[in-house]
Structure 1
Amino acid sequence: MCRRLLLVLLGLLLAGPTLAADYAPLSGGRFASVLPADGKAAPASLKPFHLRTEPVTNAEFLAFVRRHPEWRRDRVPPVFADGRYLSQWAGPDALPRQPVTRVSWFAAQAYCESEHARLPTWYEWEYAAAADATRADARSDPTWRERVLAWYARPSNEALPTIGGAPDLHGVRDLNGLVWEWVDDFNALMVSSDSREQDGADKLGFCGAGALGMEQKENYATLMRVAMLSSLEATDTTTNLGFRCARSD
C-alpha cells in the first residue's frame, strides 16, 4: 500500500475526527432520460433520494480498506476485481483528495454499504448530472453540452485533478468533468444479455445497435457514458472510473 497515502491519512486522523460524508437531497420526479423507460419515449420516474456530494476519494477508500482488509489489493479475490485494482497507489501521483479510481463495481458497492448507502442507479446519476449551478436540467444548453464534451478531450494519461468543483443546484460536485462513475445497474443499460458475459466483438455490435434506440442523440457526452458503462464487467478497473454513493429516502 502507498506509504505516502498512509502518512497523509494518519495526519488527518491525528488532526481530529473525520466528518461523515455529505449527502444532498434530490427530489426526483419524471425525467426525460437518454434511455426511455419503455425503450421508446417514456420518461423515467424517480423517487426522492440522496446523493453523495463528492466522489469517494483516495483517502476515504484507504480508510475503508484499513477497516475492511479483505478489500486490500493483495487480498481481494480475482472474482471481485481485476489485476489493476488500486494499482495507482503504488505510484507517486496518488493524492488523498483525488477521486479513487481502479475500483471494481464489487468494491464500490462494498464501500457504499459501509456508509449505509448503495451505488446510484443510472437514472439517478443522469438526473443529478443534468443540473448546472442554476438549473435542474441544463442539457438543452449548447454551452453546457460543450463544457461536458470538453472533458473528453483531456488526455487520459494526465494526473487526475483533485475534487472540489463548483456545486450544482443540488449542492453536488464533480458529476461531469472529473471521472466516469459506476452505477448500480451498469450492465442493464441496453437491451441485451448481461454485459459481463459478452466478448469484445459482441460489445461493439451491442453498443452500436443499442444507440439507435436512444433519445437526445445531441447529448453525445451522456450517450458516451452509457456505451462505456454497458461495455464493462463488474471486476473491471480503469484509470478514470470512480464512484459515489446514494441513499433511498
Structure 2
Amino acid sequence: MSAAQPTPSPSGGLLQREVIEQLGKQIVTGRWPGGTVLRMDELADQLDVSRSVIREAMSALSGNGLVQSRKHRGTVVQDPSRWNAFAPDVIAWRLDDPAQRDEQFRSLVELRTAVEPQAARLAAERIDSDRAAEMIRLAARMVESGSMGKVDEFVEADVVFHRLLLQSSGNPLFASLEQILNEILAGKYRLGLMPIIPDPQASHRHLELATAIASGDAPTAVTACLDIVLQSAEELGNSSPQPRG
C-alpha cells in the first residue's frame, strides 16, 4: 500500500482537512479498492502526521461510508456501493476524478430534475415576501454579473439562489440537499466547465423563476425551473474545461 506524498504544512505535518482530502481521494479514485486494509502506522509515516490525526481522518471517512472499522481486521475500505452518495465530500471527489465526472454529473442532474421543479412549485405556494424579494435580487445580480463576464459573482449568486429555492419550499428534506446543490454549481466553476461568459438566457430564466415564485404562479415556476436544470445539463454535455484566471 502506498500513497503519493502530500506537501507538508510549515509545521512539518498536514492539516486535518488535508489528510481527509488525501485519503478520501485515494479511496474514491480506486487507488485503494474495496477490501483494502488501511494500516494506521503506515499512513501516519507516509503523511508525516500523528496517529491521532489519522484516527480523526478515518472517523470522517467512516461517516461518509468510505471505510469501516472491523474487529480483528482494522480499518477496511468499503465497496463503492456502501459509500454515502449524498455526502458532499464524496460528490466533490468524484467530480474531481475525470474517470467518474460525467457519470456523477449525470446522476446529479437527474436528482435536480426530480427535486428542484417541485421545490419551485412549493415555494410559489409558501414563500414569504422577504425571501421572494431576495430571490428576485439574486436573479437580477446574476443578469448583471453575467453580462459583465464576472463569472465568480454569477456563480456566488447562483449558489445562494438555489439554496434559497430549496429552503423556500418549506420541505426540510429538500432543504437538506442544499450542500449537494452547492457542489454541483460550484463544482462546474471549479472544474472549468462553465462558459467564460454565462448564457444570458440562463440569467433571465432565473429572473423569470423568481418572479413566478414571488407572484405565486406555480405552473410557470415549475416550467422555468425545469428549463434551468435542463439547460445546465446541456451545457455540461457540450462543455470542455475552460482556464480560470
- TM-score over 0.5 for the pair: no
TM-score normalised according to structure 1 size: 0.32
Larger relative strand fraction? 1
